[in-house]
């Protein structure tokens, strides 16, 4: 069976980056995907070819014997593709290509993006491979992630979020009738893996340790990879979620979500949403305009967070 060309190309890109960067984690960060997703791309190509392509050595990831003779050609091919991509960038002057944390893109960016499009109707977007125009080869113009500083030149902090418990309006009314120390007792707690990847992130254990309202099993409950998945459970009255308020402002304003406790009972994340624009992309007018607009919107979010937290 012949492998589909786009899948083949993405897998080769993953292999080339893993060798060049020396680790799956660094290669995944370059592509704004998880190491597991990167590994799946590589395994798909290995299954198709019938042999391994990478092996872990003392100095990091290196090519297997089967791949070694082709490694120089692989690097050269992607250097040429990067050159082609840079040339084509200036022929696609109205396009802005973004790779971003999917929850941030769906919950924070998309509800605001129509305002930018209204003022800039000729600018076309591709966000995480989907949008007005198809995904192109090469780096995106803009990358947004939640986490620590990667040491990238030109990376900026958009904002640190403020985490509060939220539930459906019905569940919020139910716990309001209970004694303070037992308000969460017996109610399912929904957990987000995307916020608990390391010790400086926030979860229910940290929140309950500080504010109480529950005495048993703060770490037990269904775990979700993404905020969007967990919100569907909240809407269905399936439990309470500890979530960054900047992402769910519109859902709270629309009455789809309710704050379970006082706004003062929240925790500020030590990690942040961070942004990096590719210098070559910033030479194009639409990308410059989007860059300025995005920083302005992030500044508005910071002001809103200060207002609600006092």
- 33, HSE (Cβ side, Cα atoms, 13 Å): 21
Q: How far apart are CA 203 and CA 224, in angstroms?
A: 12
Answer yes or no: are the C-beta atoms of 175 and 187 closer than 8 Å.
Answer: yes
Q: How far apart are CA 44 and CA 15, in angstroms?
A: 11
Q: How far apart are CA 144 and CA 147, in angstroms?
A: 10
pLDDT at residue number 4: 46
Q: Which two tokens stand for residue 108?
A: 């924070």
b/e 139-175 (16+ beta carbons within 10 angstroms → b): bbbbbbbbbeeeeeeeebebbbbbbbbbbbeebbeeb
pLDDT at residue number 230: 95
pLDDT at residue number 197: 54
Q: Tell me: do 67 and 200 sit in the same domain.
A: no
Q: Tell me: do 38 and 182 sit in the same domain.
A: no
Q: Tell me: do 278 and 147 sit in the same domain.
A: yes
DSSP 100-152: E-HHIIIIIIHHHHHHHHHH-TT-EEEETTEESS---SS--SEEEEEES----
pLDDT at residue number 211: 95
Q: List residues bridging with 191 in a β-sheet.
A: 223
Q: How far apart are CA 287 and CA 294, in angstroms?
A: 10
User: Which residues, 6+ apart, have CB-to-CB distance to 133 below 8 Å?
Assistant: 92, 95, 124, 125, 126
Assign residue 100 a region (left: φ > 0; alpha: ψ between -120 and 50; beta: otherwise). Answer: beta
Last residue of a domain, one of 46, 68, 88: 88
The CATH number covering residue 121 comes to 3.40.190.10
Last residue of a domain, one of 88, 110, 142: 88
Q: Tell me: do 63 and 99 sit in the same domain.
A: no
Q: Tell me: do 283 and 203 sit in the same domain.
A: no
Q: pLDDT digit of tens for each residue in the chain (310 aa)? A: 344 456 788 889 899 999 999 998 888 877 767 888 888 899 988 888 889 999 988 778 999 989 988 999 998 988 888 777 666 655 567 899 999 999 999 999 999 999 999 999 999 999 998 999 888 767 789 999 988 877 766 788 999 999 999 999 999 999 998 998 889 999 999 999 877 555 456 899 999 999 999 999 998 999 998 999 999 999 999 999 999 999 999 999 999 999 999 999 999 988 899 999 988 888 889 999 999 999 999 999 999 999 887 6
pLDDT at residue number 105: 96
pLDDT at residue number 119: 94
- 276, HSE (Cβ side, Cα atoms, 13 Å): 20
pLDDT at residue number 28: 85
Q: Which two tokens stand for residue 295?
A: 């920083």
Q: Tell me: do 171 and 258 sit in the same domain.
A: yes
**How far does CA 299 lie from the centroid of its chain?**
19
Q: Tell me: do 107 and 172 sit in the same domain.
A: no
Output the pTM of the full model: 0.72
The CATH number covering residue 19 comes to 1.10.10.10
Last residue of a domain, one of 88, 110, 145: 88
pLDDT at residue number 135: 80
Q: How far apart are CA 117 and CA 38, in angstroms?
A: 32
Q: How far apart are CA 184 and CA 178, in angstroms?
A: 9
pLDDT at residue number 199: 46
Q: Tell me: do 180 and 263 sit in the same domain.
A: yes
Q: Tell me: do 50 and 94 sit in the same domain.
A: no
pLDDT at residue number 113: 96
pLDDT at residue number 196: 59
Q: Tell me: do 77 and 32 sit in the same domain.
A: yes
> What is the tally of structural domains in the chain?
3
Q: Tell me: do 24 and 118 sit in the same domain.
A: no
Q: List residues bridging with 185 in a β-sheet.
A: none
Q: Which two tokens stand for residue 246?
A: 């900047």
Domain around 189: 162-268
Q: Tell me: do 128 and 167 sit in the same domain.
A: no
DSSP 242-304: EEETTTTHHHHHTTSSEESS-TTS-EE-SSEEEEEE-TTGGGSHHHHHHHHHHHHHHHHHHHH
Nearest partner of 93 among 224, 229, 284, judged by Cα? 284
pLDDT at residue number 2: 43
Q: How far apart are CA 108 and CA 245, in angstroms?
A: 10
- Pairing outcome for strands 54-57 and 60-63: antiparallel
pLDDT at residue number 90: 54
């Amino acid at each position: 069976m012949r492998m589909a060309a786009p899948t083949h190309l993405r897998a080769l890109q993953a292999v080339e980056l893993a060798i060049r960067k020396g680790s799956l984690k660094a290669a995944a960060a370059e592509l704004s995907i998880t190491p597991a997703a990167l590994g799946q791309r590589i395994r798909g190509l290995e299954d198709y070819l019938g042999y391994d392509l990478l092996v872990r050595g003392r100095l990091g990831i290196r090519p297997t014997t089967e791949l070694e003779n082709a490694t120089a050609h692989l690097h050269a091919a992607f250097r040429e593709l990067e050159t082609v991509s840079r040339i084509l960038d200036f022929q696609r002057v109205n396009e802005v290509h973004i790779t971003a944390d999917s929850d941030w893109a769906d919950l924070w960016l998309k509800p605001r993006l129509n305002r930018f499009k209204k003022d800039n109707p000729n600018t076309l977007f591709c966000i995480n491979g989907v949008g007005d125009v198809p995904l192109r080869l090469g780096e995106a113009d803009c990358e947004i992630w939640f986490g620590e500083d990667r040491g990238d030149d030109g990376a900026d902090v958009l904002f640190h979020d403020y985490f509060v418990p939220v539930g459906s309006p019905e569940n919020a009314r139910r716990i309001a009738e209970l004694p303070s120390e037992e308000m969460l007792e017996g109610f399912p707690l929904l957990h987000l893996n995307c916020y608990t990847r390391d010790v400086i992130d926030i979860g229910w254990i940290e929140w309950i340790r500080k504010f109480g309202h529950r005495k048993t099993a703060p770490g037990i409950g269904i775990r979700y990879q993404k905020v969007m998945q967990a919100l569907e459970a909240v809407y269905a009255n399936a439990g309470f979620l500890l979530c960054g308020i900047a992402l769910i402002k519109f859902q709270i304003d629309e009455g789809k979500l309710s704050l379970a406790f006082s706004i003062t009972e929240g925790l500020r994340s030590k990690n942040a949403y961070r942004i990096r624009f590719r210098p070559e992309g910033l030479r194009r007018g639409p990308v410059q305009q989007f860059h300025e607009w995005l920083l302005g919107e992030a500044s508005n979010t910071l002001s809103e967070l200060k207002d609600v937290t006092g």
